[in-house]
Amino acid sequence: MITRRGFLHFVGGSFLSVAALSAYAVGIEPMLLTHVKRYALTPPHWPAGLKLRIIALADIHACRPWMTAERIASLVEDANAQQADLIVLLGDYIAGMPLVTGPVTPSQWASALSGLKAPLGVLSILGNHDWWGDGFAQRAGAGPTIARKALEKVGIPVLENDVARLEKDGRGVWIAGLADQLALLPTRDRSGFTGLDDLDGTLAKVSDAAPVILLAHEPDIFPTVPSRVSLTLSGHTHGGQIRLFGYSPVVPSRFGNRYAYGHVVENDRNLIVSGGLGFSIVPVRFGMRPEILSIDLG
């Protein structure tokens, strides 16, 4: 039988454990040195002899004190050190929560990202918070958003339902970028979230048989992605921000943990979901360190 003293010791120990875990999740793991998560795969029908390294950064969520312009510049150095052929940005540059000590303006985070360098260039898409944080774009129901203008001002192209054809060693590869699937918030005239994505229209712009890599901020599009696409890259979920034993209790996806994190293969179609770099809603990461993706194809 537990004594009163034993019970108080148990309660006190439990409280200290919870406090320590909370402090770690808020103040330590989000600031750990960024992990480079590496994948190597050869998708079905990938051209023989074509080797391509892609570095992907997702969900920066620029804000103070966690994702300052200085920290973004450090991430840029880490990304450049991976010797990628191509660097892609998977959206959500805007802070996604009110619990911040100060803003990092679009001009500041875009200026830091302008340091990204790769032989085949740097391409980007936008995320839901890049739309939700732009009141004018929400009222207009259309862009360009502040985030898009900031990226383009520093020379980083933004693909919204558009494609870019690149060449490496004389072989072509298409990068297709979707507009955001949750771009417009509900209003009196819009009963739910409205996406601006057009998958069919985007892929219709691919004009030859070269492989296609799709950039889609939210992974929920994946069930409708055709096998014509060699690889889909997504962010948005942050791996749930809290992840234990391969499971995330809360995932911002209608598919739950199905597309929460990592490499997913369905019917010979490949999806990689980044755990991202920042966070939204609450400043917590546990079991999901900030990460840069390094993907070797071929």
pLDDT tens per residue across span 124-181:
999 999 999 999 999 999 999 999 999 999 999 999 999 999 999 999 999 999 999 9
> Phi then psi for 221, rounded to 5 degrees?
-70, -15
Q: What is the pLDDT of residue 5?
A: 53
Report whether CATH 3.60.21 matches the domain 35-297. Answer: yes
Q: What is the pLDDT of residue 32?
A: 56
Q: What is the pLDDT of residue 28?
A: 52
Total-model pTM: 0.90
Divide the 298 residues of the chain into consecutive groups of 10 and give the mean pLDDT of each group.
48 39 45 83 95 98 96 98 98 93 97 98 98 97 97 98 97 98 94 96 98 98 98 97 93 97 97 96 93 98
Q: What is the pLDDT of residue 23?
A: 39
Residue tagged 């340091």 (tokens): 115
Q: What is the pLDDT of residue 189?
A: 84
Segments making up each domain of the chain, as ranges: 1-31, 35-297
Cβ-contact 4, 260 below 8 angstroms: no
> Phi then psi for 27, rounded to 5 degrees?
-105, -15
The set of residues, in sequence order, having a beta carbon less than 8 Å from that of 92 and lying 6+ positions away, is 58, 59, 60, 61, 127, 128, 129, 130, 217, 235, 236, 276, 278, 280
